[in-house]
Amino acid sequence: MHYKKILNYLYGLDSPKIKLGLKNLEILLEKINNPQKQLTCIHVAGTNGKGSVCAMLFYILREAGYNVGLYTSPHLKKFNERVRFNGNFITDKEIVGYFLKVKPHITNQSFFEITTAMAFLYFKDKNADFVVLEVGLGGRLDATNAVTPLVSVITNVDLEHTDILGSTIEKIAFEKAGIIKEDVPLVTGVNGRALEIIKKIAEERNAPLILAKKYKDIKFNYLNGTFQQENKNIALSAIEVLKKQNKIKINKNQIISGIKK
C-alpha cells in the first residue's frame, strides 16, 4: 500500500464524535503481542503545557545519551511528526510497514487507537530506552493509558472538552487522574479543587504524589511566559523522580543543554 493511501484510510476513521475507551485498543494490542508492555514510559497528561513538558523531557533524556521515543498529537504539517525517535520522525516507508503489521488485526479501532498501536510497535523495535507519551484527550480512557509508566505527569487542569470530559473542574480532574497507576509516582503542577481530586485518587492507588518544585537555580529567560517556567519545573521534577529511582544518570549541564534544545 502507498503512504498516502494509508493516511487517507486512517483519516477516514476520524469521527466528529470522539468515543473514548480502552477496550478496542486492548484487543488490538493483544493481537500484536502487547508491545507497550516492553516500553519504559513517561506518561504526560494535562490541559495545557503537556506538549512542552514532553518536548523538554525528550531533549533532556537525549542529551544524557539515551535513545528516546516521543509520541505527540496532533501533528502540525505532517502525520510523521506524531512519532519521533531520537533526531528523526518516523519515515513514510516505516508508516507503511507498521500499518501493514497492524492492519490484519484492525476491527473497529479508531484513528488514534491504530496510530498508538503502530507507535508502540515502532518504539519497541527501536529498542527505545525511554518513551515520552503525550495523552491525546483526557487521560483515563485515552489510548495512551494502556501503558504502565515509570512516572506519570499531570501538568494542570482547566475547563476543556467539556462535552466529553465533563462540565466541572472536578470531573475533568477525575479524567486526568485516570493515568495514575498503582505505586507509580505522580508529578503535578495542579492546584486548587483539581488537586484535591488528584490527591484522593493517588492515595487510593498508593501512588507517591510529588508537587512540582521551583528550580530557581535553573532559569531560562528565553522561555517566554511564566507558564513555560512552570512547565520547566514540572519536567525537572519528573527527571528528579527518575534519578531517585536510579533509572537515569544525568547532570545539571545535560539538563540545561537539553532544555535549550
For the chain, 261 residues long, give each residue's pLDDT as a single digit of tens: 788 899 988 888 866 555 667 999 999 999 999 999 999 999 999 988 999 999 999 999 999 999 999 999 989 899 999 999 998 999 999 999 999 999 999 998 999 999 999 999 999 999 999 999 999 887 889 999 999 999 999 999 875 554 455 558 888 899 999 999 999 999 999 988 889 999 999 999 999 999 999 887 776 666 666 778 889 999 999 999 999 998 999 998 898 888 888
pLDDT of residue 19: 65
Per DSSP, what are the bridge partners of residue 134? 44
Taking the C-alpha atoms of residue 175 and residue 101, their distance in angstroms, rounded to an integer, is 31
pLDDT of residue 135: 95
Instruction: Decide if 81 contacts 120 (C-beta within 8 A).
Output: no
CB-CB neighbours of 32 under 10 Å: 18
Spell out a b/e string for 42-69, using b for 16 or more CB atoms within 10 Å of the CB, else e: bbbbbbbbbbbbbbbbbbbbbbbebebb
pTM: 0.92
Phi, psi of 121 (to 5 degrees): -60, -45
Spell out a b/e string for 6-28, using b for 16 or more CB atoms within 10 Å of the CB, else e: bbeebeeeeeeeeebebebbeeb
Phi, psi of 47 (to 5 degrees): -75, -50
pLDDT of residue 229: 82
Instruction: Decide if 164 contacts 20 (C-beta within 8 A).
Output: yes
